Amino acid sequence: MTLTAPNADKVEQDQAGNAFQSAERSPGLLRESSWARWVRRPGLRRRWFRPNRLVLGLAFVFLLLMVAWALFPSLFTSGSPSATDPLTTLRAPSGTFPLGSDQYGRSVYTELVYGARTALEIGFLCTLLGGGVGSAIGVLSGYIGGAIDMVVMRCVDVLMALPPLFLALVFIAALAPTVTNEIIAVSVATIPLFARVLRGRALEVRSRVFVDALTVVGVRKRRILWRHVIPNCAAPGMVLGSITIGTAIVTGASLNYLGLGPTGVTSWGTLISNGQGYINKEWWIAIFPGVLITLLVLSVNVIADWLRDVMEPSSR
């Protein structure tokens, strides 16, 4: 899922001041009705959202905070995410429980801090693992071409016929519910997209004239692959990877929510499902983890967006 506004650069132009009169630029607007002209008054033509510096900075800060939570949870909270206490159940947010407590008397804040590790682990590891395998398959298949390419791509077609969550579910169904297996399942779900996108890229790179030139000069195929094709595929791979982190986090949280994740691990998804029965009065149990997931995915996506602008200027 891409989050850019492909028109962003157009807006940028407007911002640069060369024309608030885009009405003159575009023939379609030659005959604007008066109300349309009214809303197009220069004063109203301001940009509301575009991953500008401020938003981007906030996204980075938030992501770093989450990484810090994941790495050193004990620095941010003194409590334990698993210690239950029948005396402090379902407390509203207060001094001792900044974000309230759940039905087992655990501090929601503490659980959120410890849950960050689960979320980021799935987000980053699955992207690395699934993205790595998928990219390798895609690049090789695209570069080698021929019958191998055809067979591989038919297999990818088959995997693509399953929505990613379902692909992960099939693996979850077959494997025991452990952290490793959950990561494997979500990783597998990311493979097909990587394979397809990077195969396209590899095909495109292979067909460029400079590759022919290298072949003519006598460079071996393997060397072309390592020194030229793979580096040229790195940028789209990284862009796709940065987007995938968000999807992987969501898939992982959804699996945990459905109760199909590992048992005994603190995660935001589990917290939401725990809090669901209490949403009427003790809403803080289910809402806060949801907000956190959204913010995390949003910041990852904003960063991904920026990364695309930096790495693939042509796609803007």
Partner 1 sequence: MKRIAIGIPVVIGVSAVIFFVLRVLPGNPVDVITQGAPTTPGERHNLMVEFGLNKSLGDQFVLYVWHALHGNFGASFQTRQPVMSAIGQQTVATVELALAAMVLTVVFGVVFGMLSALFENTWVDSTIRVVSLLGTSMPTICTGPILILLFSFTFHWFPATGSGSLAELVLPSVALAMVTSGFVIQLVRNSLLEVIELEFVTALYAKGLRERRVWIAHALRNALLPTVTVLGVQLGVLLSSAVIAEQIFGRQGLGSLLVNGINNKDYPMVQAIVLLVATAYVVINVLVDISYAYLDPRVRTAMTR
Q: Interface residues with partner 1 (CB under 8 A)?
A: 1-3, 5-7, 11, 14, 22, 26-33, 36, 39-40, 44-49, 154-155, 157-159, 161-166, 169-176, 246, 250, 253-254, 257-260, 269, 272-273, 275-276, 279-280, 283, 286-287, 290-291, 293-294, 297-298, 301
Alpha helix (H) ranges present in the chain? 8-16, 22-25, 34-39, 53-71, 73-76, 108-144, 146-160, 164-174, 179-206, 209-217, 221-224, 230-257, 268-275, 284-311
Instruction: Give me the least distance between CB of 234 and partner 1, in Å please.
Output: 26
Measured from the CB atom, is 79 or 134 closer to partner 1?
Answer: 134
Measured from the CB atom, is 110 or 254 closer to partner 1?
Answer: 254
Measured from the CB atom, is 214 or 298 closer to partner 1?
Answer: 298
Collect all residues with Cβ–Cβ distance below 8 Å to 315 and sequence separation of at least 6. 308
Measured from the CB atom, is 266 or 301 closer to partner 1?
Answer: 301
Measured from the CB atom, is 140 or 250 closer to partner 1?
Answer: 250
Is 150 exposed, middle or buried (CB count within 10 Å of its CB: 0-12, 13-18, 19+)? exposed
Instruction: Give me the least distance between CB of 216 and partner 1, in Å please.
Output: 36
Tell me how many degrees the CA angle 295-72-63 measures, rounded to the nearest 5. 25
Measured from the CB atom, is 194 or 257 closer to partner 1?
Answer: 257
Instruction: Give me the least distance between CB of 63 and partner 1, in Å please.
Output: 14
Closest C-alpha to 198, from 225, 216, 220, 219: 225
Instruction: Give me the least distance between CB of 142 and partner 1, in Å please.
Output: 20
Instruction: Give me the least distance between CB of 176 and partner 1, in Å please.
Output: 6
| Distance in angstroms (rounded) separating the CA atoms of residues 107 and 18 | 54
- Concatenating the DSSP letter of every residue in 237-280 gives HHHHHHHHHHHHHHHHHHHHHTT-S-TT---HHHHHHHHGGGTT
To the nearest 10 degrees (0 to 180), the angle between helices 230-257 and 268-275 is: 30
Instruction: Give me the least distance between CB of 303 and partner 1, in Å please.
Output: 12
